[in-house]
Chain A
Amino acid sequence: MEKGNRSRQVLSRIATNDKHGENSPYFHGWNAYERNRFHPTQNPQGVIQMGLAENQLCFDLVEKWIRENPNASICTREGADQFKEIAIFQDYHGIKEFRQVVAKFMEKVRGNRVTFDPDRIVMSGGATGANETFMFCLADPGDAFLVPSPYYPAFDRDLRWRTGVQIIPVDCHSSNGFRLTRAAVEVAYKTAQESNINVKGLILTNPSNPLGTTLDMETLKSLVAFVNEKNIHLVCDEIYSATVFNSPRFISVAEVIQELEHCNRDLIHIIYSLSKDLGFPGFRVGIIYSYNDIVVSCARKMSSFGLVSSQTQHFLTSLLSDEEFVDNFLSKSKKRMAKGHHDFTKGLKQVGISCLKGSNSGLFFWMDLGSLLKEQTFEAELELWRVIVDDVRLNVSPGSSFHGLEPGWFRLCFANMDDQTGEVALERIRTFVLDNGKKGDEGR
């Protein structure tokens, strides 16, 4: 409660609610990591960060490219003649060549099975900005978007905080591998309707965070059909599209609508970013792609609030127009992710811990520790999580933070560490599981 103190300034409702999401208990894990960071030689007993979905597997390739291409930077002797032109370029259309290389990159990631129009590419302040911008364009305060759960925790902030839009989760269950079904979407939609909530659309994260799985063609088609029938929007967050390292191959919504004769393309929108696939979260490169002209125009105007630095646009234009580099990067990145994923999941299986079957993508895996819970509740999950953070010294993400329905699942990131650290992390989990397995209830 605000004190009656006159000097205490009144702030807005948005400023004083907690939709920023930072009052969650999960910060305990972050704090534990910050206080005691693992280092292989200097602090081998420290906390290993497994809660951050970062791709650190291929920096060596980028660093090599930078050394060989000094004119990509406007700060080098070779590139400085472009400094002025780049520094004054603030046109919210973005540098044309930048949009062209991004479009080409997105096409490559989809095996060149689709084409993207550079004029439909709009910038945003990371995918964070892109998600929010879509809500501003597609929904009014009080409207709702359907979001399959478990979902990325920050959606609570990105989709809702300043927009006033609601999230209606679409339940997915371990009994069918957390696969999203049209039936589940229909149930969520109907329930919302009955509560007089105006549903404006469905957001899919494909590949999924936190599941690390991709949607199949049949499901995607049925979801596109669903949104067409209800005349609501479909926003596909494809931020992990180039992290698919195993079959089944990635199927983008762009591919789906190519195959459908009767699809209202004005309903279809894609979110992209270079934070995960390339490992550049610091550069804040969010991409909005819409098949709806009015949305493109509106989002472009809104991008004034979150443009990509022209210096960064310029650098990335150079980097991504090097086809040889891009092909090599995508191929090596896939291989290294596949190896990391395989090593972890195999090592865990050996101690009786299973990860979600069929996971083929993402920078993390979805691990089932249900057998270690004292009871099948979220309180028990949180308790187990604290033990993992404080005693095992791994900052992992508990399933409850992803709004899942079933306790006992955890998301562990593996692509943000080298092999050596990965081995240490794996060993710690295996030891913990073996020490505690006997205490748990019967396995599932």
Chain B
Amino acid sequence: MAVLDIEQPNSAPLSTVAISNTHGEDSPFFAGWKAYNENPYDELNNPSGVIQMGLAENQVSFDMVEKYVEEHSEESSWGKGAPGFRENALFQDYHGLKSFRQAMAGFMEEIRGGRAKFDPDKIVITAGATAANELLTFILADPGDALLIPTPYYPGFDRDLSWRTGVNIIPIHCDSKSNFQVTPEAMEAAYKKAESMNTKVKGILITNPSNPLGATIQRSVMEQILDFAIRKNIHLVSDEIYSGSTFSSTEFISIAEILEARKYREAERVHIVYSLSKDLGLPGFRVGTIYSYNDRVVTTARRMSSFTLISSQTQHLLACMLSNKEFTQNYITTNRERLQKRYEMIINGLRSARIECLKGNAGLFCWMNLSPLLEENTKEGELALWDIILNEVRLNISPGSSCHCSEPGWFRVCFANMSEQTLEVALRRIHDFVEERKKGKLN
């Protein structure tokens, strides 16, 4: 809901969207960033600074990307003598480079072990998944309509899906009793909530693998979600941005596989969002895609992508990189192994501090349970604990409430955006903090 929180100067008024706070930047999720920016940890220069554990970035596999670029420098840029520059600089066709779409389709297939096929002509390019999610919302829902989203969810969704679109998010509450997996009861409850508010539900949006849970959605649950969408005749958006960051090659079941098994019945209501920001660690390049089984959505999304195309320079680089099978196969396999190793490192480290996490199998973070440490089992209690962890333990982690989690005490902790040494420092700090907390109350 838009809340007016900026005093309008004596000037031509701005739009309602401009003065609302639906952009969400006043939440603690972003406040932690400020604390980090003011006092960032550095192994040598600032060893007591704030360690950034709130940023879901993949920095464990850069060496492979760098190696590819060094070994294929001419083909991934404009070529020796820059003969490819002119055509590339002029290319603004919103279909996107065909070679890029083909490479993306192939990459998405590889990630899914060939268990699903993707048609390059159903791929629409956008400047990041941020743009893809907003764009799909503009297409699938009118202002005042709602999307159902399982909690806990990525805090950025409040901005991406609601801010300029005027669409509401209605949470599907998930809790630890079901390991935070979506249940049919929870979906029905959310749908009924919408009905009681006289709000039309237009779709359900899931993130699989989940952010912030760091876990894939089980096949049976995916089937239930799709069946629910069919029953209610609504759309299903599957944000699979972390699909290449699963630790095993078989535990991730994409909605594409489910559709394939069902011979693409009801596929027209399904849309997949993907990006290279997480799996490849290239958030700066703004590479997002929408894949839709619905031709009208593809056509409309493509037209809308005019507002948010990918730089042709970057499309070219990635077309080369992702069509190189030697690179992609090695990258996907090695990246999985390294992420798994990191995950085990943090889980074991937390366990030795007697902190448990949700069993995870994907992503760049783990979902940590600090509820035993809460003074009171409330959102306020959680934020109080978060504040101490940020300012005294000097770790920027994300409180579950910023992810709209209904159960207090859970925190998302990122582990792939730092060196192993830094992660060890962070684990040590957590260990010390928990010990202190148990011995006597901290002030």
Please measure, in the bound complex, the distance between the C-alpha atom of A305 and the C-alpha atom of B309, giving whole angstroms.
10
Query: Are A76 and B11 also in contact (CB < 8 A) when A62-B85, A83-B66, A88-B283 are?
Result: no
B281: chain A residues within 8 A (beta carbon): 87-88
Q: How far is the CB of B176 from chain A (nearest CB, A)?
A: 32
Query: Are A312 and B309 also in contact (CB < 8 A) when A12-B138, A301-B25, A305-B134 are?
Result: no
A90: chain B residues within 8 A (beta carbon): 277, 283-284, 286
Selected contact of B304 from candidates A74, A162, A308, CB within 8 Å:
A162
Please measure, in the bound complex, the distance between the C-alpha atom of A89 and the C-alpha atom of B281, giving whole angstroms.
10
B12 touches A128 (CB 8 A): no
A200 touches B89 (CB 8 A): no
B294: chain A residues within 8 A (beta carbon): 9
A63 touches B85 (CB 8 A): yes
Please measure, in the bound complex, the distance between the C-alpha atom of A308 and the C-alpha atom of B282, giving whole angstroms.
13
Chain B CB within 8 A of A407 CB: no
Say which one of A133-141, A178-186, A432-440 lies at the interface with B. A133-141
A137 touches B14 (CB 8 A): yes
Say which one of A14-22, A207-215, A253-261, A377-385 lies at the interface with B. A14-22
What is the chain A residue whose CB lies nearest that of B310? Answer: A309
Please measure, in the bound complex, the distance between the C-alpha atom of A332 and the C-alpha atom of B154, giving whole angstroms.
50
B197: chain A residues within 8 A (beta carbon): none
B77 touches A76 (CB 8 A): yes
A83 touches B308 (CB 8 A): no
Chain B CB within 8 A of A104 CB: no
B300 touches A73 (CB 8 A): no
Chain A CB within 8 A of B325 CB: no
B127 touches A11 (CB 8 A): no
Say which one of A239-247, A292-300, A348-356 lies at the interface with B. A292-300
B69 touches A11 (CB 8 A): no
Residues B105-142 near A (CB distance < 8 A):
127-128, 130-131, 134, 138-142
What is the chain A residue whose CB lies nearest that of B9? Answer: A266
Can you list, as one digit per residue, whether each of B19-46 has a CB less than 8 Å from chain A (1) or not (0)? 1000101000000000000000000000
Selected contact of A20 from candidates B141, B284, B303, B311, CB within 8 Å:
B303
B65 touches A231 (CB 8 A): no
A88 touches B57 (CB 8 A): yes
Say which one of B312-320, B352-360, B373-381, B401-409 lies at the interface with A. B312-320
Chain B CB within 8 A of A75 CB: yes
Residues B68-122 near A (CB distance < 8 A):
69-70, 73, 76-78, 81-83, 85-86, 88-92
B141: chain A residues within 8 A (beta carbon): 12
Identify the interface centre among B25, B269, B282, B297: most chain A CB within 10 Å of its CB. Answer: B282
B73 touches A138 (CB 8 A): no
A84 touches B296 (CB 8 A): no
B311 touches A309 (CB 8 A): yes
Please measure, in the bound complex, the distance between the C-alpha atom of A89 and the C-alpha atom of B284, giving whole angstroms.
5
What is the chain A residue whose CB lies nearest that of B156? Answer: A304
B180: chain A residues within 8 A (beta carbon): none
Chain B CB within 8 A of A205 CB: no
A80 touches B73 (CB 8 A): yes
Q: How far is the CB of A336 from chain B (nearest CB, A)?
A: 15
Query: Are A56 and B90 also in contact (CB < 8 A) when A138-B15, A305-B131, A310-B285 are?
Result: yes
Q: How far is the CB of B295 from chain A (nearest CB, A)?
A: 11
A77 touches B70 (CB 8 A): yes
A310: chain B residues within 8 A (beta carbon): 284-286
Chain B CB within 8 A of A281 CB: yes
A282 touches B90 (CB 8 A): yes
What is the chain A residue whose CB lies nearest that of B267? Answer: A7
Can you list, as one digit per residue, whether each of A100-143 has a CB less than 8 Å from chain B (1) or not (0)? 00000000000000000000000001101100100011111101
A83 touches B89 (CB 8 A): no
Residues B308-345 near A (CB distance < 8 A):
308-314, 317
Chain A CB within 8 A of B18 CB: yes
What is the chain A residue whose CB lies nearest that of B17? Answer: A136
Q: How far is the CB of A258 from chain B (nearest CB, A)?
A: 19
A305 touches B307 (CB 8 A): yes
Chain B CB within 8 A of A444 CB: no
Selected contact of A283 from candidates B284, B307, B312, CB within 8 Å:
B312
A304 touches B159 (CB 8 A): yes
B18 touches A59 (CB 8 A): no
What is the chain A residue whose CB lies nearest that of B166? Answer: A141
Chain B CB within 8 A of A67 CB: yes
Query: Are A11 and B90 also in contact (CB < 8 A) when A136-B17, A309-B310 are?
Result: no
Can you list, as one digit per residue, whether each of A23-66 has a CB less than 8 Å from chain B (1) or not (0)? 00000000000000000000000000000001010010011001
A13 touches B142 (CB 8 A): yes
Query: Are A9 and B268 also in contact (CB < 8 A) when A20-B303, A125-B308, A283-B311 are?
Result: yes
Q: Count of chain A residues with Cβ under 8 Å from any Cβ of B?
A: 79
Please measure, in the bound complex, the distance between the C-alpha atom of A14 and the C-alpha atom of B127, giving whole angstroms.
20
Please measure, in the bound complex, the distance between the C-alpha atom of A136 and the C-alpha atom of B18, giving whole angstroms.
7
B266 touches A309 (CB 8 A): no
B127 touches A125 (CB 8 A): yes
A305: chain B residues within 8 A (beta carbon): 127-128, 130-131, 134, 164, 307-308
Please measure, in the bound complex, the distance between the C-alpha atom of A267 and the C-alpha atom of B11, giving whole angstroms.
7
Chain B CB within 8 A of A197 CB: no
Q: How far is the CB of B16 from chain A (nearest CB, A)?
A: 5
Chain B CB within 8 A of A315 CB: yes
B16 touches A140 (CB 8 A): yes
What is the chain A residue whose CB lies nearest that of B317? Answer: A75
What is the chain A residue whose CB lies nearest that of B270? Answer: A9
Q: How far is the CB of A308 from chain B (nearest CB, A)?
A: 7
Selected contact of A306 from candidates B85, B283, B285, B307, CB within 8 Å:
B307
Please measure, in the bound complex, the distance between the C-alpha atom of A399 and the C-alpha atom of B283, giving whole angstroms.
43
Please measure, in the bound complex, the distance between the C-alpha atom of A437 and the C-alpha atom of B75, giving whole angstroms.
53
A340: chain B residues within 8 A (beta carbon): none
B314 touches A294 (CB 8 A): no
Q: How far is the CB of B208 from chain A (nearest CB, A)?
A: 21
B285 touches A75 (CB 8 A): no
Query: Are A309 and B82 also in contact (CB < 8 A) when A54-B90, A73-B77, A295-B18 are?
Result: no
A294 touches B18 (CB 8 A): yes
B16: chain A residues within 8 A (beta carbon): 140
Please measure, in the bound complex, the distance between the C-alpha atom of A233 and the C-alpha atom of B17, giving whole angstroms.
16
Identify the interface centre among A15, A22, A233, A305: most chain B CB within 10 Å of its CB. Answer: A305
Chain B CB within 8 A of A99 CB: no
Identify the interface centre among B18, B78, B300: most chain A CB within 10 Å of its CB. Answer: B18
Q: How far is the CB of A326 from chain B (nearest CB, A)?
A: 16
Chain A CB within 8 A of B306 CB: yes
Residues A330-377 near B (CB distance < 8 A):
none
B269: chain A residues within 8 A (beta carbon): 9
Query: Are A264 and B89 also in contact (CB < 8 A) when A138-B18, A284-B311 are?
Result: no
B306 touches A128 (CB 8 A): yes
Chain A CB within 8 A of B442 CB: no
B89 touches A84 (CB 8 A): no
15 contacts between A and B (CB under 8 A): A6-B233, A9-B269, A12-B141, A76-B73, A88-B282, A88-B283, A128-B306, A129-B308, A162-B138, A231-B11, A233-B12, A282-B311, A294-B18, A304-B130, A310-B286
Task: Mark A residues whose CB is within 8 Å of B.
Answer: 6-15, 20, 22, 54, 56, 59, 62-63, 66-67, 73-77, 80, 83-84, 86-90, 125-126, 128-129, 132, 136-141, 143, 157-158, 161-162, 200-201, 231-233, 264, 266-267, 275, 279-284, 292, 294-295, 298, 301-302, 304-312, 315
Task: Mark B residues whose CB is within 8 Å of A.
Answer: 6, 9, 11-12, 14-19, 23, 25, 57, 59, 62, 65-66, 69-70, 73, 76-78, 81-83, 85-86, 88-92, 127-128, 130-131, 134, 138-143, 145, 159-160, 164, 202, 233, 235, 266, 268-269, 277, 281-286, 294, 296-297, 300, 303-304, 306-314, 317
The 9 closest A-B pairs by CB, nearest first: A310-B284, A282-B312, A309-B311, A75-B77, A90-B283, A266-B11, A281-B92, A66-B82, A282-B91
* Known A11-B300, A136-B15, A307-B128; further 6 A-B contacts with Cβ < 8 A: A66-B85, A89-B283, A125-B131, A233-B12, A301-B25, A311-B284
